[in-house]
Amino acid sequence: MEYSPNLFKPVAKDIEAAEAIVRPSVTYWQDAWRRLKQNRMAMVGLWTIVVILLIAVFGPMISPYSYADQELVAQNQGPSAKYWLGTDDLGRDILTRLMYGARISLTVGVLASVLNLTVGVVYGGISGFYGGRVDNIMMRIVEILTAIPMLLYVILLMVILEPGLQNILIALGLVYWLSMARIVRGQVLSLKEQDFVLAARTIGANNWRIILRHLVPNAMGPIIVTATLNIPSAIFTEAFLSFIGLGVNAPMASWGALASDALQVFRSHPAQLFYPAVAISVTMFAFNFLGDGLRDALDPKQRK
């Protein structure tokens, strides 16, 4: 088949259209935020966490009651205009104690996650970067500690240290970094052979600078996801310890302590157990939804 030149015509040259930027350039974190906003469940979890945080910070300030105020003539009352969620067996306002409990739970979750982040990143970074005998020794220690359930460690430490908020944070900080250390080690092992590490060595960067300024920032995606998912785990651990009497000291309010107190009157006043159970469940779901959304948003393979 022969083609005639009349069938073709030259394409007009539009230099401005050829050089136009079709899509604006975005950074890795801007693209991650864009994809996170597209995840409805992750955004529901994020806004739920924001609401719980605001209630925990400002709720007790505007409440006319304190977590320890007792009014024995108002024991085990149902919801009313004076007590929105009713009172417990000592006449204390349940709503106020729930808001104070949110402070305790969020404080424990966030501080335990910060300790987990600090110790786990440093320990895992050193182990993965140096490798060899150092890595073998450090990972054998982690494996020995991981062989025993983490909750058992926390319970034993709380028995030794005695109940209290400060001791809960110490107990969680001593054992909650194990999973973070393993994740950071794996990330560092895969990154330390990259060309940017060789370039950093060429310009004279020392080992600590390479770990903290080059390797750890490039592994921040899995680190942030792990830290986010560890927060609900720490909240549940604190609630469990308070439930069995190893948590905060009375009369301090904690969701676990509220559930433990409500269990004594569960048959006659089941709503008192329902409130802290819902608070714990909603908070854990919110952090898990946000963690799952961050895992998808920070995955470079899903970047479009």
Average of pLDDT values for 179-204? 84
* Percentage of residues of the chain with pLDDT beyond 90: 4
pLDDT value, residue 20 = 57
239-260: pLDDT as tens digits:
888 887 777 777 777 888 888 8
pLDDT value, residue 65 = 79
Average of pLDDT values for 164-171? 78
Cis amide prior to 10 (ω within 30 degrees)? no
pLDDT value, residue 198 = 82
Neighbour-count burial of 275, counting CB atoms closer than 10 A to its CB (0-12 exposed, 13-18 middle, 19+ buried) = buried
User: What is the C-alpha separation between 98 and 229, in angstroms, rounded?
Assistant: 23
Largest CA distance in the chain: 104
3-class secondary structure, 82? coil
Q: Where are the domains of the chain?
A: 35-65+81-302
pLDDT value, residue 11 = 63
What DSSP designation does 26 have?
-
Q: Of 139, 304, 143, 300, give the one whose Cα is nearest residue 222.
A: 300
pLDDT value, residue 14 = 60
* Percentage of residues of the chain with pLDDT beyond 70: 90
Average of pLDDT values for 59-65? 82
pLDDT value, residue 17 = 57
pLDDT value, residue 51 = 92
pLDDT value, residue 48 = 92
Degrees, nearest 5: CA angle 187-284-293: 50
75-108: pLDDT as tens digits:
777 777 887 887 877 778 888 888 888 888 888 8
Model-level pTM?
0.77
Q: Regarding predicted confidence, which is higher, 127 or 83? A: 127
Q: Regarding predicted confidence, which is higher, 300 or 56? A: 56
pLDDT at 18 > cutoff 90: no
User: What is the C-alpha separation between 236 and 106, in angstroms, rounded?
Assistant: 11
User: What is the C-alpha separation between 231 and 91, in angstroms, rounded?
Assistant: 32
CATH number of 35-65+81-302: 1.10.3720.10
Average of pLDDT values for 120-148? 86
Contacts of range 50-58, beta carbons closer than 8 Å, 24 or more positions apart: 52/102, 52/106, 52/282, 52/283, 52/286, 53/106, 55/99, 55/102, 56/99, 56/102, 56/103, 56/106, 57/103
